Chain A
Amino acid sequence: MTDTERPGEDSGPVRFMTQHIALDYVVRVSPLAERFGEQLRSGRIVGQRCSSCGLVYVPMRAFCPMCTVAMGEEDELELADRGIVTSFTVLTPIQYHGQKERDDYALASILLEGADGTVGQQRLTGMPLDQIRMGMRVEAVWAPPEERASAAGERGYGFGNAIEAWRPTGAPDAPTAEFAAHVL
């Protein structure tokens, strides 16, 4: 019997079985992600510089994956809430059950000033979607302090809801050389 069949109706051998599977997980915020989130609530983006190779990572992570050297509080540094769009996608949201988006929107990878890696999945705002380009300089649009509730980056990436979106600063675009290494 299928979902659309009425009881008593016989539409022949069973060909499909619908299985609804829901698994619930507890999301636990690592101590480091909690610390990163605390700083975000105060309006600070804090990254870490590896003491061995000098690469700057944001969000914070416990170790440099290149050098396998632990990174701690002594390696922290504050980063500006400004950066360059290195790549982006304009999405047309499919209206599946549970979809909250209605209109086209853009997500981008942002290379913050001073960082050696991008932060992905960042929302862009403040300009027509067809005018977004790689190299565009952007700044953070912060949520009001009292609304920066969720600890950022439970999975270790992103800014949670502390930064609502990124808008163009109006400054001239960054030359390709400045971000070419971070496009992929």
Chain B
Amino acid sequence: MRDVAIVSFARTRAHAGVRETEAQLLFPVVAGAIEQSGIPRKEIGFTCSGSADYLAGASFAFVGNLEATGAWPPISESHVEMDGAWALYEAWVRLQHGDVDSALVYSSGICTRGDMREVLCLQNDPYYLMPLWADHVSLAALQARALLDTGTVTEADLAEVAARSRRAAPGNPDAQVSGDVTAASMAAEPYVVSPLRTGDCAPLADAAAAVVLVAGDRAREVCERPAWIRGIDHRIEPHYPGLRDLTTSESTRLAARHAGAGDAPVEVAEVTAAFSHEELILREALELGDTVEVNPSGGALAGHAVMVSGLVRIGEAFRQIHDHGRRRTLGHATSGPCLQQNLVCVLEGDG
């Protein structure tokens, strides 16, 4: 396998009610990631993006988004109807072929123009679940209830995750919500759908993010401290939530194993938990002990841009290595209701 590293990461702040078009949102982010990478735009060998037009209700928005990349002369590019983390995975695969050495990965989502509790119903089984309009928050609440019923987790544990995420966020200028909140105050918030309270549910945001990947020694030429992708893998569980054990995340466990997450201690893990109980399930599946710092960025609970959050987690895991000198970090992304599909990316810095 070719060694591939992340050499740059750029993102917008997460906030709701963005007025720019998606392409306008992406333009400075793509430009920023390319500039920071040290790779000239025209040298980039492959481009892959992750987004979903259903979020903003704009058909073929992902085609218009290409304008932000300066696709002239024509470029080799691809798109996934997924979180940008999967676009990163495709770019990583592409670089394994050996004929190109760099890739641009970007992701965007303007989800606050629609009601995600309606839009995300469309990802459900059309015969049995769609007619119920089983929205993703209610399904998450079912999972949280199932987890509480195992007796291993309490509502106070959920409130602690919610509070910790917001307390961490002030250290991150890109976070949407932050504050010096206590678990007690989170536990006093009203239920959105029992047992999930306001703080247990990530605030939705609009955002864009981009990374540049470089293969081989070129990464060291352009970047002082690249984050090498030591392992990356993604797994998926059955589509229908009723067929799954919602109290564990088997696909995360498998993805982590195949990505080699357990091969050496991880210092920081950025996981995409859009609901507080998801973080607890993911901690267990990823076997994160107490010494691992989880979501120092605040995580999705401090601002969740649908379709972008996963790529942002990997980007934040990159920052921990590139900006903060960490040695080994992990980024996680998820898709589908109740952590149905999960991607794990293990990063390492040199030395």
Contact = CB atoms under 8 A, between A and B. Distances in A.
A67 B70 contact: yes
Contact of B71 (A17, A61, A65): A65
Contacts of A32: 24
Contact of B114 (A26, A66, A70): A26
Interface of A: 17, 19, 21, 23-33, 61-63, 65-68, 70, 155-156
A66 B130 CA distance: 43
B19 A30 contact: yes
A76 to B, nearest CB: 16
Contacts of A31: 19-20
A68 B19 contact: no
Contact of B70 (A21, A28, A68): A68
B24 A62 contact: yes
B41 interface: yes
Contact of B72 (A23, A65, A70): A65
A70 B27 contact: yes
B350 interface: no
A63 B114 CA distance: 26
B118 interface: yes
B113 to A, nearest CB: 5
B148 interface: no
Contacts, number: 70
Interface string B79-120: 000000000000000000000000000000000011100110
B123 to A, nearest CB: 12
B177 to A, nearest CB: 21
Contacts of B58: 155
B18 to A, nearest CB: 8
Contacts of A33: 21
Contacts of B69: 68
26 contacts: A21-B122, A23-B57, A23-B118, A23-B122, A25-B56, A25-B57, A26-B114, A28-B18, A30-B21, A30-B24, A31-B19, A32-B24, A61-B23, A61-B67, A63-B67, A63-B68, A65-B66, A65-B70, A66-B70, A67-B70, A68-B69, A68-B70, A70-B27, A155-B21, A155-B58, A156-B23
Contacts of B56: 25
Given A19-B130, A62-B20, A68-B70, A28 B113 contact: yes
Contacts of B66: 65
B21 A156 contact: yes
Contacts of B23: 61-62, 156
Contacts of A30: 19-21, 24
Given A23-B119, A24-B114, A28-B113, A63 B20 contact: no
Interface residues of B, number: 33
Nearest to A27: B113
Question: Chain B CB within 10 Å — which of A29, A61, A67 has the most?
Answer: A61
A116 B56 CA distance: 29
Contacts of B122: 21, 23
Contact of A19 (B18, B115, B118, B131): B131
A56 to B, nearest CB: 16
Given A19-B131, A23-B119, A28-B17, A66 B72 contact: yes
B36 to A, nearest CB: 15
Given A23-B114, A65-B67, A29 B19 contact: yes
Contacts of B173: none
